[in-house]
Amino acid sequence: MVLLSNVIVVLISDLLLAFVEARDSTQPRHISNDPPTIPNMVTGGDGPCIGNIVPIERLGFSGICMADGPTAYNRADLVSVFPAGLTAAASWDKDLIYQRALALGSEFRDKGSHVGLAPVGGPLGRHPLGGRNWEGFSTDPYLTGVAMASSVRGLQDAGVQSCSKHFIGNEQETQRSNSVSVNGTNIDAVSSKIDDRTLHELYLWPFADAVKAGTTSIMCSYNRVNQTYACENSELLNGILKKELGFQGYVVSDWSATHSGVKSINAGLDMTMPGSLGLSSLGTGDSYFGGNLTAAVNNGSVPMARVDDMIRRIMMPYYFLGQDKNFPTPDPSAMSVLAAQYGVSLGPEIPARDVRRDHAKLIRKLGAAGTVLLKNVNSALPLKSPKNIGVFGNDAPDPTDGLTIFTDGAFNTKTYSYDTGSFDSENYGPDIGTLDVGGGSGSGRHSYLISPLEAIKAKAQKTGARVQYLTSNTRLAANDFRSIFPTPEVCIVFLKTFASESRDRLSFENDWNSTLVVNNVAKKCPNTIVVTHSGGVNTMPWANNPNVTAILAAHYPGQETGNSIVDLLWGDVNPSGKLPYTIPEKESDYDIPVTNLSSVTSADEWQSDFTEGLMIDYRHFDAKNITPLYEFGHGLSYTIFDISLFSISKLVKKPTATPATPKAIVPGGNPDIYMPLLTASTKVSNTGPVDGSTVVQLYVSLPQDSVPAGTPVRVLRGFEKVSLKQRQTTDVRFTLTRRDVSYWDVVDQTWRIPKGDIKLTVGFSSRDFKGTGSVTVLSK
């Protein structure tokens, strides 16, 4: 939706004329609740979807259906469960990220959803234990920005509106929303205190890329930002998003994240969901918008021009994507399926619409591509046709609680006590069963799930191998291996870490006595391979155990998880994933705790100070000179790659320090900040024994003597995934824009290129460098 044709503008203008009661130009314009056409266009209502803008039959408008993502059309039957955003980012494969979004979009469209509530650019992952980090992509804004742009294009190429979320600073689940204390006092949501430079260079960066790619809507988040709720923050919505970034679409609230009517509307909120004041998908009850909007317009609190703007923003994507023509109706089974998961029957069962197509192939491929080989001693992998295989851990088999356990969020767990209203231990989520996706609204309802144990047994049946297994972590922690004999040639341990909406993780380690489990298996088996399924950063106290010969971080791979990991274990697929975050040696290497107050004395006391500024993840490790266990960008292969002949070229001889004043702001902001200034080129070769893929990464270091304090040592500013046959060499070229080599000047409110030498480094991770060069973009 970068530019709208005149035809579309005319269509929208004609619709607006039908919405607004005609008045003489000298008279004030009013709106009516009979019929409530305009209020209904901006207020969620009843309908078959998680979010609904009701149809207006007399105008030929069929309504808008919204559905949760970002890994599946959530809470619906006969849909695919895709790899998580974190897994997609770990692939570092722009095309696969696009293909994932395109396939997701096709399923949303086939189910009759106009809007897919995805992709996720926030949380970025400031907190390693953030409950929703897995829904997003990476702790790095550049990598997340590329993934956001690819996902926006994929969803919208499928004919579905993207809703980039959660804007902004939604970096923890703890007290993300307002609550009520035991004495009945209303306690405000946590406030993210973010300075201007940190906002622009970290948390806003991916949303700018989404806007530039044409995202049709932005979801504002639950939290407060600098003491003001995100959905009524005029500085963020009107000032930064709509004015500075030139966002042309509409801003919709997260569900029940609206806290006012007039204030929110005038601050830039265009649509409230689910409409009612209570958190209800049925849209019942009073609303901050609805009839209150009518009163606000008629008493002059909200200008009529603002209402025109709201409706124009909402309707532009609808017409731009052709959703007014031959768009599928919402699947009538969706609400029945949702209600059934809460034990409610809505009448006779309605057959679901099967929208899965052949997406299992893509899911299997991306699940493998997003798995990172962290360790591989003496080429323990790929497996060499073992005849006695041991499979261990409660993450290996099918979930014993069924396949819909994750869609109800963190509260649908075996360890949540409804008596105490709290979690009884650090282990949450299902005990027995593989973890291929996280919990909450970002999850999905499986039609089937291929577990690792199932896939390994199927592979063993073809090779004539024996498979022994023990999936009780309680027995493994007790060192009870009586059922395992003889000792397997290879022991594969599957660990998991459950992450979900509404709750931040409590521990850096994998769940369910993971360290004891690994060490006990490794004590018995000198060739132990560990596979982790996790929603983010874990410590691995067992990583340097000499009997742990290989480690694979598989993240959340989706419904084909077992097949994806078998493809890698036996070498049918060569690992090519790279870490989109940093794995520490120990928990204390990360120093940003989740804000968690045991008691409060005032309503606005929950405050999260982003005092670390730009220093999150690898930037923090670099600044503090901390050696990680596995660095950002790390990932091994079954072959060997090399980089040579690194060079840098200037495209503009004498650029200005700051971008030119634009004639017009386009989506993404001042177009001059995206002007290419440099190119960097290198050669990459596969010198190993097998075909494979790798990711060539480019990092930029600004001159520390001419930039403000708090500037990172280096930042990612380019990457390319290349596939090479053995002994093949290819050229890789990067283009760097003005934004890529600038910092945000908080005084002049613009991007500024620093004077002096800018260092460019190319390699295979944030610490594995193969070539370095310097260039003076702006002379001193």
669: Cβ–Cβ under 8 A, 6 or more apart, which residues? 208, 211, 212, 244, 245, 246
Which pLDDT belongs to residue 370?
A: 99
What confidence score (pLDDT) does residue 32 get?
Answer: 63
pLDDT for position 34: 60
Q: Which of 123-127, 293-297, 415-419, 525-529 is the least confident region? A: 415-419
Strand 224-225 and strand 715-724: the pairing is unpaired
Q: What is the DSSP secondary-structure string of 593-639?
A: PPP--S--SSTT--EEE-TTTT--THHHHHHTTPPPSB-TT----SS
CB 140 within 8 A of CB 614: no
* Pick from 154-158, 286-290, 696-700: least confident: 286-290
User: For residue 12, is pLDDT > 50?
Assistant: no
Confidence (pLDDT) at 342: 75
Residue 470 to residue 483: CA distance in whole angstroms:
8
Q: pLDDT at position 33, please?
A: 63
The backbone torsions φ and ψ at residue 743, rounded to the nearest 5 degrees and listed phi first, read: -125, 160
SS3 733: strand
Residue 650: what pLDDT? 97
In this structure, what token pair is assigned to residue 578? 């790279």
pLDDT value at 196 more than 80: yes
What does the pLDDT average to over 658-678? 95
For the domain covering 371-573, report its CATH number.
3.40.50.1700
Q: What residue has token string 């009517």?
A: 261
Phi-psi region of 162 (alpha: psi -120 to 50; beta: other; left: phi over 0): beta
Angle between helices 452-463 and 561-569 (to 10 degrees): 50
For residue range 714-760, list pLDDT tens digits in order. 999 999 999 999 999 999 999 999 999 999 999 999 999 999 999 99
Ranges of each domain in the chain? 6-22+29-177+187-341, 371-573, 639-778
CATH class assigned to 639-778: mainly beta
pLDDT at 14 over 60: no
Instruction: Give the C-alpha distances (Å, rounded to integers) separating 191 from 222, 268, 592.
Output: 10, 19, 16
The Cα–Cα gap between 132 and 500 comes to 6
Q: Given the residues 93, 254, 331, 395, select the one marked as catalytic.
A: 254
Q: Hunting for tokens 């594969």 — which residue is that?
A: 492
For 594-619, how does the pLDDT look when each residue is reduced to its tens digit (9 = 90+)?
A: 998 887 888 889 999 999 999 999 99
Domain 6-22+29-177+187-341 has CATH 3.30.565.10: no
Q: How far apart are CA 58 and CA 41, in angstroms?
A: 14
Residue 461 has a CB neighbour count (10 Å cut-off) of: 10
Give me the pLDDT at residue 697, please.
99
- Following DSSP, what letter does each residue of 331-376 receive, concatenated? PTTHHHHHHHHTT---SS--PPPP--TTHHHHHHHHHHHT-EEEEE
Query: Is residue 622 pLDDT above 60, yes or no?
Result: yes
What's the N-to-C CA distance of the chain in angstroms?
41
d(CA 253, CA 261): 12
What average pLDDT does this structure show over 694-705?
98
93-116: average pLDDT: 99
Distance (Å, whole) CA 549 – CA 383: 12
Model confidence at 376: pLDDT above 60:
yes
Distance CA 678, CA 649 (A): 6
Residue 246 has pLDDT above 50, yes or no: yes
Is 188 one of the catalytic residues? no
Q: What pLDDT is stored for residue 100 in this prediction?
A: 99
Task: Report the pLDDT averaged over residues 46-54.
Answer: 94
pLDDT at residue number 285: 57
Give 329's contacts (C-beta < 8 A, 6+ positions apart). Answer: 62, 112
Q: pLDDT digit string (tens) for 532-560?
A: 999 999 999 999 999 999 999 999 999 99
DSSP 221-283: PSSEETTEEGGG-HIIIIIIIIIIS---SEEEE-TT----SHHHHHHT--BBSSSSSSS-TT-
- With cut-offs at 50, 70 and 90, classify the pLDDT of residue 210: very high
Q: How far is CA 365 from the centre of its chain?
A: 19
Q: pLDDT, tens digit, for every residue of 399-409?
A: 987 766 555 54
